[in-house]
């Protein structure tokens, strides 16, 4: 018998039961009370532990220091990828699932000890599972495919293993699958082709993802989760729709959606019990954040439209990623953009949100990365102060 899982089980039995996050009457609820809170994305906290394939060794864990720091800053929860990004990073799961889950057990246990909530995202990259099982990406739409069978098995294992952990706040499918859906033209042959990481060597039009395929997978994911965990919220993990999502789905190309078409698309994109969005500040070196959100709308108008959909569907909003826009800017501008978001989160009543991103060395994410002592560390003060305001009952 492996010692770590036994210790985890014993620790869970001794840990006081903490109230789980639930959805009731269109609201997030904890301990019988409406919950509003702002967390942060620590997306590679688990991914950093995984061997990179081709005989690569597991990497040194860093989440202990990260969780301790976030707890000291009173960040209530993190969203993270409970999987690998590339197929090669899932080799350990395939070859030695006990060792794989031993790594994830340690992360969940540390979060419990730090009193930190977790929102695990089970299938982060849209190509990973199809490539892992040797199928085209379109297989997400086939319930009889190996891709969907992997989805069902992995979901059962993860949810079944951690459903009693007080650290788990919800279950998320993946990350922004619909950003890749319904795109016109031929499949880009170079899209996420990294053979050394066990991706497909070439892409064909069978690797094009239709929104119907992703939504069917979302629905079944929700059914599998609900068969095991009756309470916690279920998230798709998707982004704010493109400005042309409705028209793309209807074969009309890049024609801009009307406000109603865009809102209908947002409602359709969330067949589980929450409304999901990711959105970055629309200011980008003096230009709009092109391609996403309501066409020509302000930041406030876009987020207000999201809340309209939330109220119409009776589903609370999960703002899974927010942060500064893309492009060169100084720290003062970045701070101002984060403050814009936090002000609107409070004003519009967006109940659950997470800043993108905590502690990453990826240079492509440097504009967003907040860590102890770096130039974006102002984020922690802003989140802490906003959470105090959100938790204070109105007079």
Where does the pLDDT of residue 186 fall: very low under 50, low under 70, confident under 90, or very high at 90 and above? confident
Confidence of residue 156 (pLDDT cuts 50, 70, 90): very high
In this predicted structure, what is the pLDDT of residue 360?
86
Assess contact for 258 and 241: CB atoms under 8 A. Answer: no
Strands 22-24 and 27-30, by their bridges, are: antiparallel
pLDDT, one tens digit per residue, over 337-350 is: 999 999 999 999 99
Binning pLDDT at 50, 70 and 90, where does residue 287 land?
very low
pTM: 0.93
Q: How high is the pLDDT of residue 225? A: 98
Q: Which of 71-75, 86-90, 327-331, 366-370 has the lowest mean pLDDT?
A: 327-331
332 lies in a domain? yes
15 pLDDT tier (thresholds 50, 70, 90): very low
Q: 210: domain CATH number?
A: 3.20.20.80
Instruction: Please check whether residue 306 lies inside any domain of the structure.
Output: yes
pLDDT band at 61 (very low <50, low <70, confident <90, very high): confident
The verdict on residue 208 lying in a domain is yes
17: in domain: no
The domain of 240 spans 29-391
Three-state SS across 299-330?
HHHHHHHHHHHHHHHCCCEEEEEEECCCCCCC
Distance between CA atoms of residues 263 and 14, nearest Å: 46
| 14-28, 38-52, 160-174, 176-190, range with the lowest pLDDT | 14-28
- Residue 242: strand, helix, or coil: strand
249-274 per-position pLDDT tens digit: 999 999 999 999 999 999 999 999 99
Instruction: Tell me, yes or no, whether 4 lies in a domain.
Output: no
pLDDT band at residue 16 using 50, 70 and 90 as cut-offs = very low
Q: What is the pLDDT of residue 58?
A: 56
Question: What is the overall mean pLDDT for the chain?
Answer: 91
209-221 average pLDDT score: 98
CA distance 209 to 123: 15
Give yes or no for residue 1 having a pLDDT over 50. no
Report pLDDT for 188. 80
pLDDT at 57 > cutoff 90: no
11 within some domain: no
**Does pLDDT of 7 surpass 50?**
no
Beta-strand relationship, 171-174 and 117-123:
parallel
Quote the CA–CA distance of 376 and 380 in Å, as a whole number.
9
| Structural domain count, the chain | 1
Q: Calculate what percentage of the chain has a pLDDT beyond 90.
A: 83
Query: How far, in whole angstroms, is CA 246 from its chain's centroid?
Result: 22
14-20 contacts, C-beta under 8 A, 24 or more apart: 15/112, 15/166, 16/166, 17/166, 18/115, 18/166, 20/166, 20/168, 20/169, 20/231, 20/232
Decide if 369 is inside a domain: yes
Asked if residue 9 is part of any domain, the answer here is no
Band of pLDDT at residue 60, cut at 50, 70 and 90: low
Cα dihedral sign, 276-219-85-103: positive
- How many angstroms separate the CA atoms of 235 and 272, rounded? 7
**Range 317-324 average pLDDT:** 97
Q: pLDDT tier at 290 (50, 70, 90 boundaries)?
A: low
pLDDT band at 11 (very low <50, low <70, confident <90, very high): very low
- Cα distance between residue 335 and residue 197, in whole Å: 36
pLDDT reading at 80 higher than 60: yes
pLDDT confidence band for 52 (50 / 70 / 90): confident
């Amino acid at each position: 018998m492996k010692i770590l899982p036994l210790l985890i089980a014993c620790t869970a039995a001794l840990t006081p039961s903490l109230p789980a996050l639930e959805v009731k009457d269109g609201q997030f609820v904890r301990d019988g009370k409406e919950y509003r809170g702002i967390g942060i994305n620590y997306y590679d906290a688990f991914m950093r532990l995984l061997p990179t394939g081709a005989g690569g060794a597991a990497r040194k864990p860093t989440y202990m220091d990260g969780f301790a720091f976030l707890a000291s800053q009173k960040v209530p929860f993190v969203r993270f990828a409970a999987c690998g990004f590339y197929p090669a990073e899932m080799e350990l799961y395939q070859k030695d699932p006990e060792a794989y889950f031993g790594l994830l057990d340690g992360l969940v246990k540390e979060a419990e000890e730090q009193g930190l909530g977790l929102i695990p995202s089970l299938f982060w990259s849209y190509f990973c599972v199809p490539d892992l099982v040797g199928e085209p990406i379109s297989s997400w739409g086939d319930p009889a495919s190996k891709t969907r069978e992997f989805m069902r098995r992995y979901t059962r294992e993860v949810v079944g293993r951690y459903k009693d952990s007080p650290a788990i706040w919800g279950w998320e499918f993946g990350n922004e699958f619909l950003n890749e859906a319904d795109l016109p033209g031929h499949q880009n042959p170079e899209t996420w082709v990294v053979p050394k990481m066990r991706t497909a060597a070439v892409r064909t039009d069978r690797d094009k993802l239709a929104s119907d395929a992703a939504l069917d997978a979302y629905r079944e994911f929700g059914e599998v989760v609900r068969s095991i965990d009756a309470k916690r919220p279920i998230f798709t993990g998707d982004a704010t729709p493109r400005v042309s999502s409705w028209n793309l789905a209807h074969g009309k190309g890049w024609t801009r959606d009307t406000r109603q078409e865009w809102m209908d698309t947002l409602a359709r994109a969330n067949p589980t019990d929450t409304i999901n969005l990711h959105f970055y500040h629309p200011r980008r070196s003096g230009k709009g954040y092109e391609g996403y959100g309501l066409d020509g709308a302000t930041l406030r108008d876009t987020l207000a439209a999201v809340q309209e959909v939330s109220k119409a569907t009776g589903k609370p909003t999960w703002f899974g990623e927010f942060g500064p826009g893309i492009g060169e800017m100084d720290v003062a501008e970045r701070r101002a953009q984060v403050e814009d978001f936090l002000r609107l989160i409070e004003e519009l009543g967006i109940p659950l949100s997470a800043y993108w991103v905590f502690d990453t060395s990826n240079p492509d994410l440097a504009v967003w990365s907040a860590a102890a002592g770096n130039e974006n560390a102002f984020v922690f003060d802003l989140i802490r102060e906003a959470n105090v305001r959100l938790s204070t009952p109105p007079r």
